[in-house]
């Protein structure tokens, strides 16, 4: 019934290490979709226009993305939903959760720096979930590594087989474009940030016609390279890509709008439309008529004038309708939504209906938590939305006693977003914020002040790791909690959390209390 709509949809995330050019690539994809008319420069402060997907005040100041943003546009008869994720490792948690809401991924790699640490971690999440991946090697207009060396590095570091579907003609100052192997076209490069360059149908690189477009030396090298590519790499098989076994590779320069259209055109042909999603009870297929969806992200204060949160819902099956009644499974109550929205970064418009694969925003007055499920009545629980054990801890104190209420509300809402995790020490009742990176503390402090008018003060808390503990042996659990009383805390769900003060102490605790399970991911 909805198959045509579902088949049109492509929902994917763009991930990379910071500075590889992810947000710039997102901008250029939006440019092709006609969603924006001028691409913003992410870095330069001289240009007033900032990137469309970086809209929080702190993002504009720093020139980095700190929250996943969602954008939708139409292109080539398809409805495309892009999730631009933070590359900065301090916000990895947001990115891990976003990967549960997409059907495929584009990884951006800097041609000069190659595969960096954060890219490796994100790829592990993709491999775990068998998510299909396309690699875009960016910044070919700058001096970088040899393309063959880069491909070897990608295979070794990301543990995935690759198959180039385009090939660069030289690099840096001498960069002349790419040969599009997938479509047998020669795409010639002229540096331009706003316009698309010319492409020439060119089926046979052995033809002497090639020399009319590029220099004889470049032609000789391109022929040799293409021969080597065909000899070394297996022919491209879309099925292997969909299984997550092979990653097609494209080369280009996102800043100069080069190689982006080739990537997008091929992506539409080979990328998966919405796929089945596993719930604890059963597998949910996108073609089912009944609506199901889950909250994978909550964002407070998209509009600072109204203290509202938005819950981002990934639709897994069926059709979502505005003003229809849906069941909030965790709270076991029916809810209706009069103003569901679709996004273009922060600009949002009300939608009357949405289909499997779409991401919608629901206004939230505190009803939702990350991982919540909405259905037409069936009790389903979608799995795979983990919180990882934080590695940095600080006590959060109120710096302005007159604003205690605002501070508490701010902390509640920001923790709902999953920006960081809140623990309450059972020994002295102090509130501890646990985060993956230092930058998160700065963002929390900044947002509490600017969005809630509350001032907080940080105090050092010397813990090594937070672990959730459980045990069937209640006597041992009780004994452990007494012995470690000042290191025990509860999370917001009321679960027991042990804040170990060093790796050695944690190791000893695991040996001394064999019946206690120590979990480093909240979903257990």
Percent of the chain with pLDDT over 90: 12
Least confident range of 16-25, 29-38, 395-404, 507-516: 29-38
What's the pLDDT at 69?
63
Contacts of 515 by beta carbon, 8 Å cutoff, 6+ apart: 471, 472, 473, 476, 477
Name the residue with higher pLDDT: 416 or 353: 353
Put the strands of the sheet holding 166-169 in their side by side order: 166-169, 177-180, 185-188, 199-201
Strand partners for 319: 355
What's the pLDDT at 300?
60
Range of 179-188, 281-290, 386-395 with top mean pLDDT: 281-290
Q: Is 396 exposed, middle or buried (0-12, 13-18, 19+ CB in 10 A)?
A: buried
Residue ranges and CATH numbers for the domains of the chain are: 3-173+233-270 (3.40.50.300), 277-375 (3.40.50.300), 392-519 (3.30.70.3280)
Of the pLDDT bands very low, low, confident and very high (cuts 50, 70, 90), residue 65 is very low
Least confident range of 69-83, 229-243, 316-330, 507-521: 69-83
Instruction: Say if strands 69-75 and 78-84 run parallel, antiparallel, or are unpaired.
Output: antiparallel
Percent of the chain with pLDDT over 70: 79
What value does the mean pLDDT take over residues 325-332? 88
Query: How many angstroms separate the CA atoms of 217 and 184, rounded?
Result: 20
What value does the mean pLDDT take over residues 251-269? 82
Name the residue with higher pLDDT: 65 or 304: 304
Query: How many angstroms separate the CA atoms of 289 and 382, rounded?
Result: 18
Query: How many angstroms separate the CA atoms of 108 and 178, rounded?
Result: 17
User: How far, rounded to the nearest angstrom, does the alpha carbon of residue 268 sit from its chain's CA centroid?
Assistant: 19
Query: How many angstroms separate the CA atoms of 10 and 8, rounded?
Result: 7
CA dist 42 → 21, 46, 50, 51, 112 (Å):
9, 11, 6, 5, 19
State the greatest distance between any 2 C-alpha atoms of the chain, in Å, as a whole number.
Answer: 83
What's the pLDDT at 59?
46
What value does the mean pLDDT take over residues 312-330? 87
Contacts of 466 by beta carbon, 8 Å cutoff, 6+ apart: 389, 390, 393, 421, 423, 434, 489, 497, 498, 499, 500
Query: How many angstroms separate the CA atoms of 308 and 94, rounded?
Result: 20
Name the residue with higher pLDDT: 302 or 356: 356
Q: Is the dihedral of CA 445, 17, 243, 53 positive or negative?
A: positive
Of the pLDDT bands very low, low, confident and very high (cuts 50, 70, 90), residue 414 is confident
What value does the mean pLDDT take over residues 505-519? 90
Of the pLDDT bands very low, low, confident and very high (cuts 50, 70, 90), residue 129 is confident
Least confident range of 214-223, 249-258, 428-437, 457-466: 214-223
What value does the mean pLDDT take over residues 132-159? 87
């Amino acid at each position: 019934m909805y198959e045509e709509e579902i088949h049109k949809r492509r929902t994917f995330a763009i991930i990379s290490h910071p500075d590889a050019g992810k947000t710039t690539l997102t901008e250029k994809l939006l440019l092709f979709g006609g969603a924006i008319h001028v691409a913003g420069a992410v870095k330069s402060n001289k240009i007033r226009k900032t990137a469309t997907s970086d809209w929080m005040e702190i993002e504009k100041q720093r020139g980095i993305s700190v929250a996943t943003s969602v954008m939708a546009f139409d292109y080539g008869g398809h409805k495309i939903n892009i999730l631009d994720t933070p590359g900065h490792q301090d916000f990895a948690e947001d990115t891990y959760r976003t990967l549960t809401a997409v059907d495929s991924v584009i990884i951006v790699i800097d041609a000069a720096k190659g595969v960096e640490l954060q890219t490796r971690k994100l790829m592990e999440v993709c491999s775990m979930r068998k998510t299909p991946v396309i690699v875009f090697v960016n910044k070919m207009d700058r001096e970088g590594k040899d393309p063959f060396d880069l491909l070897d590095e990608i295979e070794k570091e990301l543990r995935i087989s690759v198959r180039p579907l385009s090939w660069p003609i030289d690099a840096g100052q001498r960069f002349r474009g790419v040969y599009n192997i997938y479509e047998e076209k020669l795409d010639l490069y002229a540096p331009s940030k706003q316009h698309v360059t010319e492409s020439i149908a060119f089926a046979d690189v052995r033809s002497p016609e090639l020399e009319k477009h590029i220099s004889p030396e470049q032609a000789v090298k391109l022929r040799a390279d293409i021969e080597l590519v065909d000899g070394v790499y297996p022919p491209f098989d879309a099925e292997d890509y969909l299984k997550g076994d092979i990653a097609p590779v494209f080369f280009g320069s996102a800043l100069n709008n080069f190689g982006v259209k080739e990537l997008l055109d091929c992506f539409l042909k080979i990328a998966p439309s919405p796929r089945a999603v596993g719930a604890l009870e059963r597998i949910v297929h996108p073609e089912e008529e009944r609506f199901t969806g889950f909250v994978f992200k909550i964002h407070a204060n998209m509009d600072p004038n109204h203290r509202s949160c938005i819950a981002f819902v990934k639709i897994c099956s069926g059709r979502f309708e505005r003003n229809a009644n849906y069941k909030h499974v965790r709270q076991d109550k029916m809810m209706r939504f009069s103003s569901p929205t679709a996004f273009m970064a922060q600009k949002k418009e009300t939608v009357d209906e949405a289909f499997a694969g779409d991401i919608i925003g629901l206004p939230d007055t505190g009803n939702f938590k990350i991982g919540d499920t909405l259905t037409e009545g069936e009790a389903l629980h979608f799995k795979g939305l983990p919180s990882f054990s934080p590695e940095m801890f600080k006590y959060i104190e109120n710096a302005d006693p007159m604003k205690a209420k605002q501070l508490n509300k701010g902390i509640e809402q920001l923790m709902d977003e999953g920006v960081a995790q809140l623990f309450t020490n059972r020994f002295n009742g102090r509130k501890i914020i646990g985060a993956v990176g230092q930058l998160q503390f700065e963002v929390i402090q900044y947002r509490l002040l600017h969005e809630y008018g509350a001032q907080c003060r940080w105090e050092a808390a010397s813990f090594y790791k937070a672990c959730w503990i459980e045990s069937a042996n209640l006597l041992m659990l009780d004994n452990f909690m007494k012995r470690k009383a000042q290191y025990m805390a509860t999370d917001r769900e009321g679960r027991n959390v042990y804040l170990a003060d060093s790796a050695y102490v944690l190791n000893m605790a695991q040996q001394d209390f064999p019946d206690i399970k120590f979990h480093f991911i909240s979903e257990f």
